[in-house]
Amino acid sequence: MENCLYISKINISRDSEFFIYDINYPIIKLKEECICQEKFDLYIINEINNKIYKDVLDFKNNTKLEAKEYKKLYDTKISKECKECVKYKYEVYINYEATYDRNRIISIPMTKYKFSGGAHGMTYLESYNYNLLTGKILKLKDLFGEGIDYKKLINDFIREEIMKEPEKYFKDDYGFKGISEDQSFYTDEDGIVIYFPLYEISPYYVGIPKFKLKFKDYKKYLIYK
């Protein structure tokens, strides 16, 4: 990663009666020989790491609180009134991938899964896209040249992709209406991946819908390629 940077994986896990979690999250590190150089600001790197760590802990701890409430309910009521009821565990699984690390830009999509009872759990995708020199969170518009109508480019592309398999997506008022100002995305080695939460434009069985604009097809519009 840019010669001076590398990512270290941290794992935290635990399995108890009502709650299990297995979490992998990244820490961006600066090699010792680069610390005195002015290519990167250690404060900025630490701020990014702190943001990722806080988000991971919040996701885990919020689910842990729900598990405690369920345990209390199970011990005081469910186990006494419903002998046939199944006791279940709340679950959290988190993993990540560093998909882009060029041009002082880093993109780290992180998948978060949570089960809290019911027919199935929920999967969330959250991406950390940063300019490592400034610490600025990158928005989709930052990847495109000045004056480019990036929304139209992307909306047209997504609509074309949806038309290839229309049975997978909601229609009319429930279907795709266009990307937002804070549209979720990440970059990888050959393109920009636009994605949507579960249920936003398609049924659960489809998973998280993703649409990749390849750099080679859109390079004349892009700043970062």
Q: What is the pLDDT of residues 156-178, one digit of tens each?
A: 999 999 999 999 999 999 999 99
For residues 55 and 123, state if they share a domain.
Answer: yes
Query: Number of folded domains in the chain?
Result: 2
Q: Mean of the pLDDT values across residues 62-72?
A: 96
Helix (H) or strand (E) holding 24: strand 19-30
For residues 121 and 216, state if they share a domain.
Answer: no
- Residue 39, pLDDT score: 64
Q: Quote the percentage of the chain above a pLDDT of 90.
A: 78
| pLDDT at residue 154 is higher than 60 | yes
For residues 158 and 132, state if they share a domain.
Answer: no
The DSSP secondary structure of 74-114, one letter per residue, reads IIIIIHHH-TTPPP--EEEEEEE---B--TTEEEEEEEEEE
- Residue 38, pLDDT score: 58
For residues 124 and 198, state if they share a domain.
Answer: no
For residues 122 and 216, state if they share a domain.
Answer: no
pLDDT band at 87 (very low <50, low <70, confident <90, very high): confident
Strands, E, within 60-209: which ranges? 90-96, 105-115, 122-131, 185-188, 191-195
pLDDT band at 37 (very low <50, low <70, confident <90, very high): low
Per-residue burial over 171-190, b = 16 or more CB atoms within 10 Å of its CB, e = otherwise: eeeeebeebeeebbbbbeee
| pLDDT at residue 40 is higher than 60 | yes
Last residue of a domain, one of 87, 112, 138: 138
pLDDT band at 11 (very low <50, low <70, confident <90, very high): very high
For residues 128 and 223, state if they share a domain.
Answer: no
- Residue 4, pLDDT score: 78
First-to-last alpha carbon distance for the chain, in angstroms, is: 16
For residues 20 and 75, state if they share a domain.
Answer: yes
Q: In the numeric block, which tokens belong to residue 100?
A: 């882009």
For residues 10 and 97, state if they share a domain.
Answer: yes
- Please choose, from the candidates 149, 157, 146, the residue with its C-alpha nearest in 3D space to the C-alpha of residue 193: 157
| pLDDT at residue 16 is higher than 90 | yes
Q: How many CA atoms lie within 13 A of 37 on its CB side?
A: 11
| Domain that residue 187 falls in | 139-225
Last residue of a domain, one of 138, 173, 204: 138
pLDDT band at 85 (very low <50, low <70, confident <90, very high): confident
For residues 103 and 146, state if they share a domain.
Answer: no
- Please choose, from the candidates 192, 14, 23, the residue with its C-alpha nearest in 3D space to the C-alpha of residue 89: 14
Please report, as a single letter, which amino acid is at residue 89. K
Domain CATH code at residue 207: 3.90.640.20
For residues 25 and 128, state if they share a domain.
Answer: yes
Last residue of a domain, one of 138, 163, 183: 138
- Residue 103, pLDDT score: 81
Domain CATH code at residue 82: 3.30.565.40
Phi, psi of 164, rounded to the nearest 5 degrees: -75, -30
Q: What is the pTM of this model?
A: 0.92
| pLDDT at residue 225 is higher than 70 | no
Helix (H) or strand (E) holding 39: none
For residues 204 and 110, state if they share a domain.
Answer: no
For residues 172 and 191, state if they share a domain.
Answer: yes
- Residue 35, pLDDT score: 64
| pLDDT at residue 2 is higher than 60 | no
